[in-house]
Amino acid sequence: MLTQECLQDAVKYGECFIKFGKTAEYIPELARVNKYHLGACIVGLDGTVMEYGDTRTPFTIQSISKLASLILAISDRGADYLFHDKVGVEPTGDPFNSIIKLETKTKPFNPFINAGAITVASCIDGKDSDEKFERFLQFIRKVCGNEEIALNEAVYLSEKSTGDRNRALAYYLKASGILEGNVEECLDFYFKMCSVNVTAVDIAQMSAVLANHGACPSTGEVLIEPESAKAIRALMLTCGMYDGSGEFAMTVGFPAKSGVGGGIAAALVDRMGIGVFGPALDEKGNSIGGIKILEYLSKKMDFNLF
């Protein structure tokens, strides 16, 4: 049985590695964050919550938002269309913001790299960026069980004014006929969805829904179609940690999705959701302390699926 003491030991273990990481420097507002935050929250499928460390400190969701936007796009367009015409389901082995494969293969390899997530963002229903974002916000509040979740305006503006690499990806995708609609509206929505403030508790709640086949553990309400939840967990395992996904599968061994805000959301099917937060990142853009917490829990509790 997982105890509070074990969770505390995992966070203490993760703390030893923070000094080797750095906050995301390419987004000026994220570069300013205190890199020594660290915390972990576990939500069981009976609704129980266990937490230790900085679990109530807000941070921007960043790429973890790509789970929610993909769920919305699947429900708007259908998985067949999305995964056939718009994005693949294969890992790239390249960094999350790489452009290199877009020239040789028009379709982004998967929905979690930036090119794939920008494409998915363009497939979400809504007449403009505001309408798409409102739908995204309603969904993320529901799936995290927190009505207070809101945009971090400073991070959004920081990303929007410096996101030229994402702009390049989006215009390239438009030129290839992959990205739908107005490029700037799509990018504006993408920057907003990445800049929503959440906590480790929020992302643990969302992960618990994914682990529970799409149903909210405390109310039983179906928030995600079970088939979508299954596809998302598979993609988290193969692509969720970008070019660190293979090593993460070897050392930790369960589905997880990281963000450069320092969060990692992990879904252990039929067991629990885990949310960790530690803004010091490794060279691949994944939380360095967060990975170590998950590695500790995986070994101690025998969570590794393999």
Site residues (CB under 6 A) for ligand DON? 62-63, 96-97, 114, 159, 166, 194, 258-260, 285-286
Cβ atoms of residues 126 and 181 within 8 Å = no
Q: Which residue minimizes CB distance to ligand DON? A: 63
Paired tokens of 302: 């025998």
The catalytic residue among 11, 33, 43, 66 is 66
Q: How far apart are the first and last CA of the chain?
A: 20
> d(Cα 295, Cα 272) in Å, to the nearest integer?
15
Q: What is the CA radius of gyration of the chain?
A: 18
**Nearer of residues 7 and 281 to ligand DON, judged by Cβ:** 281
The catalytic residue among 242, 252, 292, 298 is 242
> d(Cα 132, Cα 154) in Å, to the nearest integer?
20
Pairing status of strand 263-268 against strand 272-277: antiparallel
The catalytic residue among 52, 156, 190, 296 is 190
CB 264, min distance to ligand DON, A: 9
CA 118 to chain CA centroid, Å, is 14
CB 300, min distance to ligand DON, A: 25
Active site residue 296: no
CB 154, min distance to ligand DON, A: 14
**Nearer of residues 129 and 212 to ligand DON, judged by Cβ:** 129
275: helix, strand or coil:
strand
CA 269 to chain CA centroid, Å, is 17
Active site residue 230: no
**Nearer of residues 69 and 205 to ligand DON, judged by Cβ:** 69
**Nearer of residues 86 and 192 to ligand DON, judged by Cβ:** 192
Active site residue 66: yes
**Nearer of residues 25 and 90 to ligand DON, judged by Cβ:** 25
CB 21, min distance to ligand DON, A: 12
The catalytic residue among 33, 63, 209, 292 is 63
CB 259, min distance to ligand DON, A: 4
Query: Which of 185, 189, 73, 184 is closest to 124 using CA atoms?
Result: 73
The catalytic residue among 260, 276, 287, 296 is 260
Q: Residues 6 or more apart from 35 whose CB is under 8 A from it?
A: 18, 21, 22, 23, 279, 280
Catalytic residue set = 63, 66, 190, 242, 260
